[in-house]
Amino acid sequence: MPVAVTATTATFSGLTNGTGYDVSVRSRDTLGNASAWSTAVSATPRAPDTQAPSTPAGLKASLITRSSFQVCWKASTDNVGVAGYRMYRNGVLAATMNATCQSLSGLTRNTSYTITVRAFDAAGNVSAAGSVTVRTRS
What pLDDT score was predicted for residue 30?
Answer: 87
- pLDDT tens for residues 46-67? 888 999 999 999 999 999 999 9
Q: Is the pLDDT of residue 2 over 80?
A: no
Distance CA 18, CA 31 (A): 39
- pLDDT tens for residues 106-132? 999 999 999 999 999 999 999 999 999
**Domains of the chain, CATH where assigned:** 1-47 (no CATH), 57-135 (2.60.40.10)
User: What separation in angstroms does the CA of 66 have from each of 116, 134, 136?
Assistant: 20, 11, 5
Residue 93 or 2, more confident: 93
Mean pLDDT of 28-48: 90
Q: Is the pLDDT of residue 133 over 90?
A: yes
Nearest to 64 by CA among 129, 110, 130, 97: 110
Residue 118, exposed/middle/buried by CB under 10 A (0-12, 13-18, 19+)? buried
